[in-house]
Chain A
Amino acid sequence: MQTEQWLYIGVFLVLAPLLPAAAILIPRLIAPRKPNKIKQDTYECGMETVGETWIQFRVQYYIFALVFLIFDVELVFLYPWAVAFDVLPMFAVLEGVLFVAILIAGLVYAWRKGALEWR
């Protein structure tokens, strides 16, 4: 039963990129191809590009990814808890609530610390 489901997902994973790939391959056959130096230039609204593309990003992006990672891990844990809700006593529900409350404490800490400000 479960194996069949994952077989379906597996077949889908193999087939899903094929149609978009075909859409990219057709222009290869019928579209003109006359590359030249100017045409292949990096597009910057007509300005010539200066320096390297590799620019140093601010730490802010990293912080948001970090907070996201923590939340993501915690929330994935909560899904089985929600699925088992029927058989859980009130006590077990409150354990889940405590779990989320600790999560909220983390959010409040990041907020107070100013890590959620975009500067």
Chain B
Amino acid sequence: MTPVQILFILVAAVTLGAALMVVNARNLVHAALWLIVSFGGVAVFYAMLNAGFLAVAQVVIYIGAIAILMIFAIMMTRNVAGDSSPRFNSSQIIGLVLALALFAGLVWMTLSWSGATTTPMPLDSRADPISQLGSALVSPDGYVLAFELASILLLGALVGALMIAWDRK
């Protein structure tokens, strides 16, 4: 095994283990902290794929903003940290089957896609990938529509969230 493969297996184990702890932790804040470990593992994957921009964006957005938002949301609730109710209920078998079916479906879909088995063309190593990304985001034959729509979508998210959370009588 190459060092990269060993590193990949280690990081994957940490990421999956942390994700398991998220659903397994009895304390909500602990669950949020484990989720952050899991997010960090995903960022390491991006960095290992040389996708530096995605790696830092993952940390900035998921750890820096979404995790903080989650912890604030947990703190707004009234003492549910020490949840002592049983962790399994009668529908655990159905849940397990559904989860396995979903996972199998995803694996099947990925394998049936031609991009999953062919090696993509390497990027032009002389040009800065971030500069290429930047010009693709705003070029009319690139992703300009998606770029502007993302802005509208976020505006919609802001308005909607304020409507729900900030209901002043």
Chain A positions within 8 Å of B, measured between CB atoms, are 2-3, 5-6, 9-10, 52, 54, 56-59, 61-63, 65-70, 72-74, 76-77, 79-88, 92, 95-96, 98-99, 102-103, 105-106, 109-110, 113-115
Contacts and interface: CB of A to CB of B under 8 A. Distances in A.
A102 B134 contact: no
A84 B135 contact: yes
A76 B135 contact: no
Contacts of B52: 2, 5-6
Interface in B151-169: 151-152, 154-155, 157-159, 161-162, 165-166, 168
B61 A73 contact: yes
A16 to B, nearest CB: 14
Interface residues of B, number: 49
B158 A68 contact: no
Given A72-B61, A74-B154, 19 more contacts: A2-B50, A6-B50, A9-B47, A54-B81, A57-B72, A58-B76, A62-B72, A69-B65, A72-B60, A72-B64, A77-B137, A77-B150, A81-B138, A82-B134, A87-B135, A95-B148, A102-B151, A105-B155, A114-B168
B135 A99 contact: no
B13 interface: no
User: Main SS of chain B's interface residues?
Assistant: helix
Interface in B50-83: 50, 52-53, 55, 57, 60-61, 64-66, 68-69, 72-73, 75-79, 81
A33 B76 CA distance: 37
Nearest to B163: A113
Nearest to B73: A62
A75 to B, nearest CB: 9
A73 B65 contact: yes
A57 B73 CA distance: 9
Cβ-closest 8 pairs across A and B: A84-B134, A80-B134, A92-B138, A69-B65, A102-B151, A84-B135, A80-B133, A65-B69
A96 B135 CA distance: 11
